[in-house]
Amino acid sequence: MRGFAAAPQPVEDADHGGSSGGSSMIEKKGITLRGVPLYLDMQATTPMDPRVIDAMLPFMTEQFGNPHSRTHLYGWESEEAVEDARAKIARLIGADPKEIIFTSGATESNNTAIKGVAMYYKDKKRHVITTQTEHKCVLDSCRWLQQRGWDVTYLPVRPDGMLDMSVLEAAIRPDTALVSVMAVNNEIGVVQPISEIGALCRSKGVFFHTDGAQAVGKLPLDVNASKIDLLSLSGHKIYGPKGVGALYVRRRPRVRMEPLMSGGGQERGLRSGTVPTPLVVGLGAACEVAARDMQSDLAHVRRLEERLRTGITSQLQGVMLNGPSDLALRYPGNLNLSFAYVEGESLIMGLKEIAVSSGSACTSASLEPSYVLRALGVEEELAHTSIRYGMGRFTTDAEVDRAIDMTVSHVNKLREMSPLWEMVQEGVDIKSIQWAQH
């Protein structure tokens, strides 16, 4: 049917010699795997592109100089590479290279933007606006401000995850310093109306920060067209290295901020510390490749999402899409589905040959349902059974087909064991049942 006639077998009794030439099994965390799982968790992180590794290697071998050294070749060649990378990042988002600051990742960029701007303008402006579905690092930075006396508004979102512009407009006050809304959500892939938010903020004289970790390099984004004042981006979400990111800080009209890191005054004094040349070169290369491959990547991911979504929903009932169904409003590389009458943890455990997650990597360790799904108003049971499939540049059709087969067979298997599913099939309305009190 899809080229995989063989039904997925339980790992324990699988005896595939394969081309690895042995019966060697992978054992980790008490789980035995017969091979490396398929990777469908591209929102958690992406593998590095070989073009990125190729750009980085010279700076991990002989060209090891400190880019801030002014007196010798080692420093000069590193500085040149760092500035070249800065220009590549700026080009991808339509910025000036002088507006790019290197950080350790999107978490640091978000912290710097939110706390830094709020602290600089604290005498006149004591209010910050964000949404309930932001990444933990944005919410936690806002919490930090709240504990120090700032007022924070956490805006609700619509059931498809979109921010309502009228809700935002009503929340803006004369003392609002900053609005922070992420461009693409990491759990459900919803694309927020960034340009409209930017235009509104500019007209009200409020700075606009956006967390672009899941958007930059994947969707077209221009800081001037969208009137973005601060933009966070991350290396490892765009096939670059982990441990590096950048913050775009607008120069005209100028955004002032207090640095979180004190020291040698690198990066215009906003982020002290030696710039890590190999990582920064990798980030630059990742941005250059992303700019060049964006249309190809996007078309590829759109095709895969269509294949995965229709493959699963054509074979299973009771599958709910979390996030907007309109693909103009959702990044297609992110498909978040809930399976009714299936226990989420059991499903994830059953799908151990596919690396997927139930939500963000930061919160996947807890048994609590995702706060993002709860903010959308997804029922607790369904929020517990969500699976996020993340596809990207290196995902193949065969992997998607395998994910469909595995998901369908495991959901069916778990439902066969579920008394609730049996009752639903018999036409009993589960919600009408009065469960006995104990």
Complex with another protein: residue 11 or 260, whichever CB lies closer: 11
| Selected catalytic residue, list 137, 142, 287, 362 | 362
Residue span binding another protein (CB under 8 A) among the ranges 44-52, 140-148, 210-218, 227-235: 44-52
CA angle 275, 108, 168 (to 5 degrees): 140
Complex with another protein: residue 51 or 91, whichever CB lies closer: 51
Residue from the set 353, 375, 391, 404 that interacts with another protein by CB under 8 A? 353
B/e letters for 348-361, b = 16+ CB within 10 Å, e = fewer, are bebbebbebbbbbe
Nearest-Å Rg of the Cα atoms of the chain is 24
Q: Directed axis angle between helix 73-93 and helix 277-313, to 10°?
A: 30
Q: What are phi and psi of 130, to 5 degrees?
A: -145, -175
Q: Is 83 in the site for another protein (CB under 8 A)?
A: no
Give min distance, CB of 285 to another protein, in A. Answer: 11
Q: Cis (ω within 30 of 0) for the bond into 253?
A: yes
Complex with another protein: residue 258 or 401, whichever CB lies closer: 401
Residue span binding another protein (CB under 8 A) among the ranges 29-37, 168-176, 253-261, 360-368: 29-37
Complex with another protein: residue 27 or 426, whichever CB lies closer: 27
Which residues does residue 336 pair with via DSSP β-bridges, in sequence order?
322, 388
Which residues does residue 224 pair with via DSSP β-bridges, in sequence order?
none
Q: Let me know if 362 is a catalytic residue.
A: yes
Complex with another protein: residue 7 or 367, whichever CB lies closer: 7
Using CB under 8 A as the binding criterion, the count of chain residues that bind another protein stands at 32
The Cα-based distances of 362 to 186, 359, 365 in angstroms read 11, 9, 7
Cα–Cα distance, 248 to 243 (Å, whole number):
17
Q: Is 136 in the site for another protein (CB under 8 A)?
A: no
The Cα-based distances of 55 to 66, 84, 293, 437 in angstroms read 17, 12, 17, 64
Residue type, 79: E
Residue from the set 226, 360, 385, 395 that interacts with another protein by CB under 8 A? 395
CA angle 422, 428, 431 (to 5 degrees): 110
Residue span binding another protein (CB under 8 A) among the ranges 12-20, 190-198, 216-224, 419-427: 12-20
Those residues with Cβ within 8 angstroms of residue 386's Cβ, 6 or more apart along the chain or in another chain:
322, 336, 337, 338, 344, 358, 359, 369, 370, 373, 378
Q: Which sign does the torsion angle of CA 189, 190, 194, 200 carry?
A: negative
Residue from the set 84, 258, 379, 399 that interacts with another protein by CB under 8 A? 399
Site string for another protein, 57-76 (x = CB under 8 A): x-------------------
Residue from the set 73, 361, 362, 398 that interacts with another protein by CB under 8 A? 398
Q: Is 296 in the site for another protein (CB under 8 A)?
A: yes
Residue found by looking up tokens 């054509």 in the block: 314
Give min distance, CB of 332 to another protein, in A. Answer: 17
Q: Is 208 in the site for another protein (CB under 8 A)?
A: no
Complex with another protein: residue 18 or 264, whichever CB lies closer: 18
What's the length of the chain? 438
Residue from the set 394, 418, 423, 424 that interacts with another protein by CB under 8 A? 394
Binding site for another protein (CB under 8 A): 4, 6, 16, 18-20, 24, 26, 33-39, 47, 50-51, 53-54, 57, 293, 296, 300, 353, 393-396, 398-399, 402
Catalytic residue IDs: 362
